Each structure stands twice: as structure tokens, then as C-alpha cells.
Amino acid sequence: MYNVKAYSAASAASPLASATIPRRDPTESDVQIEILFCGICHSDVHQVRNEWSSVMPTVYPIVPGHEIVGRVTQVGSAVTKYQPGDLAAVGCLVDSDRTCPQCQAGFEQFCPNLTLTFNGMDKHLGGVTYGGYSASIVVDERFVLRVPANLDLAGVAPLLCAGITTYSPMRHWGVTQGQKVGVVGLGGLGHMGVKFAHALGAQVVVFTTSPGKKEDALRLGADAVVVSRNPDEMQKHTGSFDFILDTISADHDINAYINLLRRDGNITLVGAPSKPLHVSAFSLIMGRRSLSGSNIGGIAETQEMLDFCGEHNLTADVEVIPIQKVNEAYERLLKSDVKYRFCIDMASLKSE
């Protein structure tokens, strides 16, 4: 075991502050990674402030961060895919039971015994796992990902959550060239949804409540922008979409978007409103439409996504900050004051 610098919160009301945490010595199957960049996800804020206490209560102290990019510094004797000096990444998962039907099918994200990158059960050291707001991390080789060398590393970090969260449902529902795809919301998730749909060859329409976002949506790859508060604009697209990705976490009228689907079209939720959505059965029945949800992706699919990004030169739009500004970034994130993700330059941790 060895100790590393990190930023942690001592309670739900505490700010993140400099700390020291333990890491396990690499076992024969482990990869040790010096963390270069770590993205800030909205779920970091929820868990630091224990806002998901009914589902996954936070254990303190907590070190968040599951959008990790770094460089391999040491590997175990049985590791075959990585060597010191390689670029590597870690997402939301650092282990699973590997034997359940979900794992066998490559869907580790649905494993009933998965280990989250932070605030999960640490079977090696006891207590809970600590995430990427730290100098280094040790992860089993099976849960480490390769990073395309041509991509900006700061922009890669959010791909480990926002990227795979939007890529996975598009792949599952077969988004391809010539289809009409809608993206509801243009935030951390939505901006990646636009980039992926455009790269897959779809005709992309962004739905937003903010007319001022039109120029940025077009820059990101949208072919058209609809102000969703305008019923006439919405009406023009009735029954025309093959697929819609809904990234909104606030309460909204889901039926307004279901009605935009063609026959057999699908709308997938990746945002998670706190209140149940009211769904009209007739909106689904009359066009054999479907409503579904999606949650990140398995390890193989996440690697596929990173490779796809390498081929198409795709990364997240990020604002890079030093770790000393992380509490300020949390407050700005809650105000949607970022385009479109924060990413921590972990070199700043060395000055602590």
C-alpha cells in the first residue's frame, strides 16, 4: 500500500479539500496509472453532497472522479495489454463479478456486483473506492482502456462517462447514415450526442429551450435547431424521427417528443428527472414507438467508442481548471455555466 495526494470531502456540507489517501500496491493483474486529467461529472456533485442517499448513500470521506485519463507507470506480471508509458483511461467501473449473464454478454454496467470507481466497495483495502481526483489509481487490466494517441487528453476525459452514455444508445438502436436523429438538450451529454450522431452520418436536430444555443449547436454538427417552447416549430417535425436522445434531467413533457417519432422510432432517456414522467400510452401505441433508458456502456463498447473518437477526431468541449478551483466549478456546474464539461488538470495537485 502507498499514499497519494487527492481532493476529498469529509461530509455532505464540506467543500472538497486537499487530503492523502491509500492505494493498493499493484497485483499481478493490475495497472498503475498516473492521473493526468479527470473530468467533472454532475454525478460527482450528487454523490459528494449525498443527494442520492436513498439509492447509493455516500460514505465519507469521498474522493470523486470517474472520467480518468493518465499514463501507465507500473504493471503487474500477468498484464499483457499495457506497459509503462502507455496512455490509459478509466471510466465509471473498476470491477465486476465477471461471471453473471450481464458480464458474460459484455454489459458490465448492469452487473449486480459491479464496483464503482468511487464510493464502491473496495475488496482490496476495505472501505470504499476512491476516484480520480487524485495523483494515481490502480485498476485491474480488464477495466483499463486504451486512449487514441491523436486526441487531446483533456477532451478525452469526459468521454469516459458523457461520451459512452450518449454513444451506447445510438449504437444499440442502430443510428446510421441517412437517419433523422434528435438530441434534446445541449449540455454536457447533449453536445456529445450531437457530435456522435453527426459522425454516424445522421441528420441531426437539436431541441433546446434557449434560442441563443442555435449557433453552438450548428457548430457542433447539428443540421437544424428547434426551440422546443415553440409549438409551431415542434409541429413541423411530427412523426419524422428515427431516434431521439433525451438528455434532460429537469421535469419536461416527454410526450411532445414521443409524438415526433416515426413508426417504430425510439426515444432513449439518458437524463434522469427526479420526478416520474407522465407518458401517454396512445403516444406509444399509435406508432409502435418505444421509450427506453440507457446507462453508460460495457468495457468493450467503451473501448469501441474511444476508437471511434480517434478515427473521427472527436473529443468533448472542455474548460480545463486546476484542482484548487473544483468547488467553484461545482457551483458553476449547477448553474450550467460551462461549455460543456469541466476537466481538472491533475498536474495542479502537485502544488498541494
pLDDT in tens, 224-268: 999 999 999 999 999 999 999 999 988 899 999 999 999 999 999
- Alpha carbons 62 and 48: distance in angstroms, whole number: 7
Examine the pLDDT at 275 and tell me if it is beyond 90: no
pLDDT computed for residue 352 by the predictor: 84
pLDDT computed for residue 166 by the predictor: 98
Examine the pLDDT at 55 and tell me if it is beyond 90: no
Q: Residue range 151-162: average pLDDT?
A: 98
pLDDT computed for residue 272 by the predictor: 83
For the segment 81-136, what is each residue's pLDDT rounded down to a tens digit?
Answer: 999 999 999 999 999 999 999 999 999 999 999 999 999 999 999 999 999 999 99
pLDDT computed for residue 47 by the predictor: 95
pLDDT computed for residue 273 by the predictor: 81
- DSSP characters over 259-271: TTEEEEEEEEE-S
- Alpha carbons 44 and 52: distance in angstroms, whole number: 11
Q: Residue range 331-336: average pLDDT?
A: 93
Examine the pLDDT at 148 and tell me if it is beyond 90: yes
Q: Which domains, ranges and CATH numbers included, belong to the chain?
A: 2-160+318-351 (3.90.180.10), 163-293 (3.40.50.720)
- Alpha carbons 339 and 253: distance in angstroms, whole number: 25
Banded model confidence at residue 274, pLDDT cuts 50, 70, 90: confident
Residue 3: how many CA atoms within 13 Å on its side-chain side?
Answer: 5
pLDDT computed for residue 250 by the predictor: 87
Q: Residue range 156-182: average pLDDT?
A: 98
CB-CB contact of 109 with 297 (8 Å): yes
Examine the pLDDT at 54 and tell me if it is beyond 90: no
Beta strands 203-208 and 180-184, pairing class? parallel
pLDDT computed for residue 115 by the predictor: 97
Average pLDDT, rounded, for the chain: 96
For the segment 175-203, what is each residue's pLDDT rounded down to a tens digit?
Answer: 999 999 999 999 999 999 999 999 999 99
Residue 93: how many CA atoms within 13 Å on its side-chain side?
Answer: 26
Examine the pLDDT at 6 and tell me if it is beyond 90: yes
For the segment 210-226, what is each residue's pLDDT rounded down to a tens digit?
Answer: 999 999 999 999 999 99
Query: What burial class does residue 322 get, using C-beta atoms within 10 Å of its C-beta: 0-12 exposed, 13-18 middle, 19+ buried?
Result: middle
For the segment 276-313, what is each residue's pLDDT rounded down to a tens digit?
Answer: 899 999 999 999 999 999 999 999 999 999 999 999 99
- Alpha-helical segments (H) within the chain: 42-48, 101-104, 153-156, 162-172, 188-199, 214-220, 231-235, 255-258, 281-285, 299-312, 326-334
Q: How far from chain centre, in Å, is Cα 184?
A: 16
| % of the chain residues with pLDDT over 90 | 95
Query: What burial class does residue 77 get, using C-beta atoms within 10 Å of its C-beta: 0-12 exposed, 13-18 middle, 19+ buried?
Result: exposed
- Alpha carbons 141 and 130: distance in angstroms, whole number: 17
